[in-house]
Amino acid sequence: MNQISNCGRSLELLCEMRRLAIWIMAITCLVDLSSCGTTSFTPPPVTVELVRNGSDPHRDIAMLSEGRALFVHRCIECHTLPAFWRYSTEDWPKIVDSMAHRSNLRPAERDAIVAYILAVRGQ
């Protein structure tokens, strides 16, 4: 009788572990989807070329890096990040302005985000 109940418990534990393994595999697959055509949604890192790409003489690596960090942290509090190409270079500053207060952005932070977006948009 003990053997039978032990078998039952072992089978149950096996089922639970199998279920957990399926969860882990499912999560891993879903995370891996980020390499399947969705990398266009990942804001590009700041490089020297990105800084040079544009007409604004005031922006530098530090400003664009701060802009990127704020863009990926503050903006996702309320919504997912839209693709850069969705809006024109004329529209982006107005869009950021309309949401700056909502996301508690200081003027310098707002400028950094706009500078980063326009640098990427201009590539």
Residue 41 CB, shortest distance to another protein, in Å, is 4
Residue 83 CB, shortest distance to another protein, in Å, is 8
As given in the structure block, the two tokens for residue 123 are: 């590539």
Please say whether the beta carbons of 60 and 51 come within 8 A: yes
Residues lying near another protein in the complex (CB under 8 A) are found at 12, 23, 26-27, 30-31, 33-34, 38, 40-43, 68, 72-74, 76-81, 83, 101-105
As given in the structure block, the two tokens for residue 32 are: 């891996």
- Neighbour count for residue 74 (Cβ, 10 Å): 17
Question: Helix-strand-coil percent breakdown of the chain, rounded to 5?
Answer: 70, 0, 30
The smaller minimum CB distance to another protein, of residues 23 and 60, is found at 23
Residue 117 CB, shortest distance to another protein, in Å, is 14
Residue 85 CB, shortest distance to another protein, in Å, is 13
**How far apart are alpha carbons 89 and 123 in whole angstroms?**
11
**How far apart are alpha carbons 90 and 74 in whole angstroms?**
22
The smaller minimum CB distance to another protein, of residues 33 and 58, is found at 33
The smaller minimum CB distance to another protein, of residues 40 and 55, is found at 40
The smaller minimum CB distance to another protein, of residues 55 and 80, is found at 80
